[in-house]
Amino acid sequence: MRLLAEEIISRPYVALCEPIKFELLRLAPQTSQGIVENMLSTIPVLTTPASLWHQATRNGQHCRVHGIQTGLMDLLISTICQHHRAKLVAFDAAFEKMAKVLKFSVELVKR
């Protein structure tokens, strides 16, 4: 899993968004937090304009109409990718369902 994450992070056009950075740092083992934080500090971060919160709300409503239940963070992450026209690389297959409805690009990575 670690090698797979390193391969993804090493891609030439990789970027993060604040919710992903938050999740990675929140879940990092205490012994690795400094290393993870240093590594993440070298990766560009996509902006999260205030208007995206409203769009994430709309996207959540749109997903619900299509029978897709998703969490707040997943909605915000997908909305940020949609806004920046960035491909979302994820382990979670729920993003594929959301991508079909919300029209953003997703690459599902097998663990």
Domain map of the chain by residue range?
A: 2-108
The burial class, CB within 10 Å (0-12 / 13-18 / 19+), for 62 is middle
Q: Which of 27, 18, 33, 22 is nearest to 80 (CA)?
A: 18
Question: What pTM does this model have?
Answer: 0.86
What pLDDT does 36 receive? 86
Mean pLDDT of the 59-88 span: 96
Bigger pLDDT: 91 or 95?
A: 95
**pLDDT for residue 75:** 96
Strand partners, 111: none
Cα 76 to Cα 82: distance, rounded to the nearest angstrom:
10
What is the predicted pLDDT for the residue at 14?
87
**pLDDT, tens digit, for every residue of 2-58?**
555 666 666 778 899 999 999 989 988 999 899 889 988 989 999 999 999 999 999
Architecture of domain 2-108: 3-Layer(aba) Sandwich (3.40)
